[in-house]
């Protein structure tokens, strides 16, 4: 953690934006109306978490109420003990039973664009109940039972949400793999989860091309015995290989399946899903989320952060892929539990033109829009003329997530997209936290560009040192959480020790997020970035070790070190320093082949932005790679830190001289 000493507050941001006037009328009233209301309720939620969460939990439908709200034996939290609930029931059936079956639940737009006839689907809660029930029965017919992990590797089609909900319905935890990941990533995840059934698509549209999802699953199945059955949704009608013993068409199974399927009564602590994410060491780890606590917390953060109200004509759009936690919580579970239509868009933000997102906002009258800083920076670059072509007046709340947002991007979002009348909620959270942990509340919290402001209800966040001592204002420290919250991870699949080591060993008695942060005089939090070997590329989380392992698995490579470097659009880009085996020629073709190799091992998002060949890497006398120096080299900075431990000073000098 020596980096922490380097972290000083460099940002001085004095602009402050009060919640815009007229916001309440626009959204039919606000859930949290003022800072006083926030502070009062926050204090209560910290003083009496059990009482607070108990009152929230009664907003969901439970089959059997809980006996005890919380049991906390660090690092294990159990919430709503003894209660039984079903996530799918709360997102779908409950609304049908309450007489809302004909209301739109999912609005979907496909990527291929014909202006006269856009590819749009509206699915009601009744439609979804029918499809989810059939899909759940289809899974059962393939032998899936309660507790069996089902892998989902699909494009952004409504059937992806339907598949997740079908798993939830029968108590089979889902493990969604982002469609941009490689066949090797599928192998790693299905093996870790011992998942025998994979739901996929023939292909997915991305920027006008077909991503061959089924072919990737075939390649994975050739490498592992784990995959016994696949279900294939036909989306692109691209040519695919077929194995009669293993593969089943989605449409065939759905047609044969019964449309009645009861929701399993799940224990509150039963696993709802597994989601793999990168850490500092080894392969991605399977983060386990519970059913009851996750649903309660995700429902409330959705409602308050975005001011969701079911009967006021709102349309919520989160642009993330369901393959990430953001999509799980804010495309599916949190939004559907609130009975607000959730919009899903299949493809790229700039296909066929850079105004695609804004045409979608206009066409569907989106009221809440949630995206990542990397997308905002790309839109800035593409130019103001693209949003200007469309009517964005339906927008009422703008959200951002995934990485720190630079103040210029924040201001552009505020001015050009929000037209200075939409609050921006900069939400800080993680795969492990399940849902939003820090955020402004749109009608209550004055916002400052670049700050995620204050903790959500029930979140006791602190910036501290390793002993848990709180840091003074404007001093960098470790971002930690003192008390359990309902949606916190319940463990790392199959690796208890990694769960303890990663989250509960750095700071005494607390959950450590892996981020550093500071608090300003106002008490607002400013996220400063990861302090472990995780990098955030376009809001996508990658472990530097994962990329290094991928590089080293190439025949030409002897050793590799990967660090983050500043990148105009991605926020952080990937810089790789590579030493080659004897006799291998360092050339541009090899760089290209290494990039492809990494894409094959992990996925295109992990391709290094810069590769530099070197005879040796700077190391300490004990043989540890000096990443801080490499970061400086990659970002073109002079190293100011202590260099006396470098084994060979000439290595650093040489790295600097070598132009990419």
Return residues touching ligand PRX (CB under 6 A): 277, 325-326, 401-404, 426-431, 452, 513-515, 527, 530, 536, 541
Residue nearest to ligand PRX (CB): 431
Q: Which is nearer to ligand PRX, 144 or 275 (CB)?
A: 275
Q: Which is nearer to ligand PRX, 177 or 325 (CB)?
A: 325
Q: Which is nearer to ligand PRX, 233 or 304 (CB)?
A: 304
Q: Which of 341, 347, 383 is nearest to 365 (CA)?
A: 341
Query: What is the DSSP secondary structure assignment for residue 226, as one 8-state letter?
Result: -
Q: Which is nearer to ligand PRX, 106 or 517 (CB)?
A: 517
Write down the least CB distance from residue 435 to ligand PRX, Å: 9
Write down the least CB distance from residue 285 to ligand PRX, Å: 11
Q: Which is nearer to ligand PRX, 200 or 400 (CB)?
A: 400
Give the span between the Cα atoms of 119 and 165, in whole angstroms: 23
Q: Which is nearer to ligand PRX, 205 or 333 (CB)?
A: 333
Q: Which is nearer to ligand PRX, 212 or 423 (CB)?
A: 423
Write down the least CB distance from residue 402 to ligand PRX, Å: 5
Q: Which is nearer to ligand PRX, 395 or 409 (CB)?
A: 409
Give the span between the Cα atoms of 81 and 293, in whole angstroms: 10
Residue 485: helix, strand or coil by DSSP?
A: coil
Give the span between the Cα atoms of 383 and 388, in whole angstroms: 9
Give the span between the Cα atoms of 629 and 556, in whole angstroms: 24
8 Å CB contact between 547 and 574: yes
Q: Which is nearer to ligand PRX, 425 or 561 (CB)?
A: 425
Distances (CA, A) of 241 to 209, 212, 253: 19, 11, 18
- CA dihedral for 213, 214, 220, 223, sign (positive or negative): negative
Token pair listed for 203: 């292909």
Give the span between the Cα atoms of 17 and 400, in whole angstroms: 16
Give the span between the Cα atoms of 508 and 480, in whole angstroms: 10
Token pair listed for 623: 């043989």
8 Å CB contact between 19 and 442: yes
Query: What is the DSSP secondary structure assignment for residue 356, as one 8-state letter?
Result: H
Write down the least CB distance from residue 574 to ligand PRX, Å: 15
Write down the least CB distance from residue 511 to ligand PRX, Å: 12
Write down the least CB distance from residue 11 to ligand PRX, Å: 13
Query: For the purposes of burial, counting CB atoms within 10 Å of the CB of 99, is it exposed (0-12), middle (13-18) or buried (19 or more)?
Result: exposed
Residue 438: helix, strand or coil by DSSP?
A: strand
Write down the least CB distance from residue 59 to ligand PRX, Å: 23
């Amino acid at each position: 953690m020596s980096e922490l000493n380097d972290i000083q507050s460099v940002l001085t941001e004095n602009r402050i934006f009060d919640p815009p006037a007229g916001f309440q009328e626009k959204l039919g009233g606000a859930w949290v109306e003022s800072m006083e209301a926030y502070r009062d309720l926050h204090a209560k939620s910290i003083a009496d978490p059990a009482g607070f969460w108990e009152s929230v939990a009664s907003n969901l439908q439970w089959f059997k109420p809980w006996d005890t709200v919380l049991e906390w034996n660090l690092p294990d939290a159990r919430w709503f003990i003894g209660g039984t609930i079903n996530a799918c029931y709360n997102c779908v059936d409950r609304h049908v039973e309450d007489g809302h079956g004909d209301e739109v639940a999912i609005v979907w737009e496909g990527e291929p664009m014909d202006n006269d006839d856009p590819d749009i689907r509206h699915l009601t809660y009744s439609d979804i109940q029918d499809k989810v029930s059939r899909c759940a029965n289809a899974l059962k017919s393939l032998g899936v039972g309660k507790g069996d992990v089902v892998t989902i590797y699909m494009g952004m089609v409504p059937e992806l949400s339907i598949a997740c909900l079908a798993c939830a319905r029968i108590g089979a935890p889902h493990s969604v793999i982002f469609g941009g990941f490689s066949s090797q990533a599928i192998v790693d995840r299905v093996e870790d989860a011992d998942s025998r059934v994979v739901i996929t698509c023939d292909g997915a549209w991305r920027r006008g091309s077909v991503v061959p999802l089924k072919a990737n699953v075939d390649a994975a199945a050739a490498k592992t015995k784990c995959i016994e059955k696949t279900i294939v949704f036909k989306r692109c009608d691209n040519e695919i290989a077929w194995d009669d013993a293993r593969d089943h068409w989605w449409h065939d199974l759905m047609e044969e399946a019964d449309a009645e399927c009861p929701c399993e009564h799940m224990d509150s602590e039963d696993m709802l899903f597994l989601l793999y994410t990168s850490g500092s060491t080894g392969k991605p780890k399977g983060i386990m989320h519970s059913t009851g606590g996750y649903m309660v917390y995700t429902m409330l953060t959705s409602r308050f952060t975005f001011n969701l109200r079911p009967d006021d004509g709102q349309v919520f759009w989160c642009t993330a892929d369901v393959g990430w936690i953001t999509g799980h919580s804010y495309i599916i579970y949190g939004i559907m539990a609130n009975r607000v239509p959730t919009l899903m868009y299949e493809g790229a933000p700039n296909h066929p033109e850079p105004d695609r997102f804004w045409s979608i906002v206009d066409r569907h009258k989106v009221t809440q829009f949630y995206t990542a800083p990397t997308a905002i920076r790309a839109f800035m670059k593409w130019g103001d003329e693209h949003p200007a072509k469309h009517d964005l007046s339906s927008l009422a709340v703008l959200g951002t997530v995934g990485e720190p947002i630079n103040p210029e991007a924040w201001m552009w979002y505020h001015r050009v997209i929000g037209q200075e009348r939409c609050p921006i909620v900069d939400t800080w959270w993680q795969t492990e936290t399940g849902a939003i942990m820090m955020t402004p509340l749109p009608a209550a919290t004055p916002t400052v560009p670049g700050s995620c402001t204050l903790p959500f209800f029930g979140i006791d966040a602190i910036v501290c040192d390793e002993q848990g001592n709180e840091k003074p204002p404007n001093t960098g420290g470790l971002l930690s959480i003192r008390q359990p919250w309902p949606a916190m991870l319940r463990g790392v699949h199959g690796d208890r020790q990694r769960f303890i080591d990663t989250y509960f060993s750095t700071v005494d008695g607390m959950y450590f997020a892996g981020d550093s942060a500071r608090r300003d005089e106002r008490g607002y939090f400013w996220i400063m970035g990861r302090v472990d070997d995780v990098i955030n590329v376009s809001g996508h989380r990658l472990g530097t070790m994962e990329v290094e392992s991928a590089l080293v698995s190439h025949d030409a490579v002897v050793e590799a070190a990967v660090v983050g470097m500043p990148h105009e659009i991605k926020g952080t880009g990937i810089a790789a320093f590579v030493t080659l085996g004897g006799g291998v020629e360092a050339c541009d073709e090899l760089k290209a082949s290494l990039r492809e190799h990494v894409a094959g091992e992990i996925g295109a998002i992990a391709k290094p932005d810069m590769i530099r060949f070197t005879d040796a890497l700077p190391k300490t006398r004990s043989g540890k790679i000096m990443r801080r120096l490499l970061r400086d080299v990659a970002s073109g900075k002079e190293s100011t830190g202590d260099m006396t431990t470098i084994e060979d000073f000439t290595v650093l000098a040489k790295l600097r001289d070598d132009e990419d």
